[in-house]
Amino acid sequence: MIRFKNSVIARTNLGKPSRVIVAGHIDTVPVADNAQAVLISKDGKLPSDGSSVSEDVLFGIGSCDMKGGVAVAFRAAATIENPQFDVTYIFYECEEIESSRNGLTLIAAEHPEWLTADIAVLLEPSNANIEAGCQGTLRANISTSGKRAHSARSWLGENAIHNLNAILETLNSYEPAKVLIDGLEYREGLNAVSISGGIAGNIIPDQALVEVNYRYAPNKSGADAEQHIRDTFKDFTVEFSDNAPGAMPGLDRPALADLVSRVNGQVAPKFGWTDVARFSAMGVPAVNLGPGDPGLAHSRNEFVPVSQLQKCEETVFSWLRG
């Protein structure tokens, strides 16, 4: 067992023919009146808003994202003495903030050998089902220009905000691709996420921009995604602010095929970006498999169903024990 900065890595060295990584982040988002963990029975009420629950749940900050998954991994590490694979358990810091402080990033920079494996399983919330790969995410600023003038003599200027209309029309008419990979359908998306422009209440603005977010299928490279945005907005100035390629499903790997068989082949694509992409970039195929509804992550009502904790534990334990 190794402590590296604020992450903990534990490795078996049993001479097994393959190695897998089981990982989860140990940080949470800031509390939102949900700091106290509470076990709530069926038909009980959430402390956050008084809404009732339809089954037994564990309520509290990070219960879904992702203390529930970390608890499953802790229990596996403590109780499975002879797994069918050698296992590297990684409990890492700072997933919820900027990438430069992410525990996996820090480990990869100084000890990449600790992240060597045939596959990785991240216990991120996925309703205790397997979500394979993940889509890439890109952000770009699409800008227009105009001519600055006094608003009382607007005919002397050209309004850059008005010129955004062509960008918005492009977004409204955009047809996102549906991409089939390993039998999974990834659905791309291109959307405006913010608009900025304007100088003062009596000035015709000469600059304005739309920030767009492009979610792209994992078979596209980051360069391909950027070129697609340039082609889509070829008449405008494009500046990229962030680009993180996705991760291929990798379901053809034997260790992943074994895991999939234990959920009767039920696998869904991961539409959001997760740290599986970091493993994919290092040549390690990865999937998400964790308890909790990702739609509850970061919310005041965050909870994880006890039934999903049990289901996830059964799946992971069965897989590791072989």
Query: Catalytic residue positions?
Result: 27, 95
Output DSSP code: residue 236.
S
Rounded-to-integer distance, Cα 155 and Cα 36, Å:
60
Query: What's the angle, vertex CA 29, arms to CA 59 and CA 120, rounded to 5?
Result: 90
3-state secondary structure of 164: helix
Q: Residue 8 class from Cβ within 10 Å (0-12 exposed, 13-18 middle, 19+ buried)?
A: middle
Integer CA distances (angstroms), 182 to 135, 177, 267, in order: 14, 16, 10
Q: Could you tell me the sign of the dihedral formed by the alpha carbons of 198, 204, 205, 209, in that order?
A: positive
Token pair belonging to 160 = 């850059």
Output DSSP code: residue 52.
B
Do 186 and 132 contact (CB within 8 A), yes or no?
A: no
Rounded-to-integer distance, Cα 316 and Cα 307, Å:
14
Residue 23: count other Cβ atoms within 10 Å of its Cβ.
30
Rounded-to-integer distance, Cα 260 and Cα 35, Å:
35
